[in-house]
Amino acid sequence: MSLPSDRSFLLVCLGNICRSPLAEAALRDAAARAGVAIAVDSAGTGAWHVGNPPDPRSQAVALAHGIDISGYRGRQVEAADYRRFTDILALDKDNLVELRRRAPSDATARIGLLMDAVPGRKGQAVADPYYGDAAGFEVTWADVSAAAEAIVAGLR
């Protein structure tokens, strides 16, 4: 049974191939397990990876947790997102600043940091694993999973 929710979430990092696809997957999964119906998507502030699948290391860590993200494709945040989603959550402070800078005058979305949802993690960034090894992607998964669980708990 699905509980109705009027909330929708856009999760945003820089390139939309590492952190934000993992955050999207974690939030979708947490909501599904809780029976909470929400809309979830991810995007990047940069356009380098538009149309590309997630980084293979992101795909591997998601699959290790039972989630296939191979069909996800990178996209860039667009003006309509600020009206389409109720919440736009950046995965770090630099992207938060950029999201606020780009917000159109008619924006209705709440803009914040993803980790603010996790008790004791307010103001913190999700670990960026891009330049590291596979172990860094597990750290990122732990961050986004904790945030996903906290968000879903707040929606019940």
Active site residue 128: yes
Active site residue 18: no
Helix/strand/coil for 142: helix
The DSSP secondary-structure symbol of 24 reads H
Active site residue 110: no
Joined together, the tokens standing for residue 58 give: 């992101």
- Nearest residue to 25 via CA among 78, 65, 56: 65
- Nearest residue to 47 via CA among 87, 98, 6, 114: 98
Give the active site residue among 7, 18, 19, 28. 19
Q: What share of the chain is helix, strand, coil (3-state, %, to 5)?
A: 40, 15, 45
Give the active site residue among 73, 84, 121, 128. 128
Round to whole Å and give the CA distance between 47 and 140: 22
- Nearest residue to 154 via CA among 106, 100, 89: 89
Active site residues: 13, 19, 128
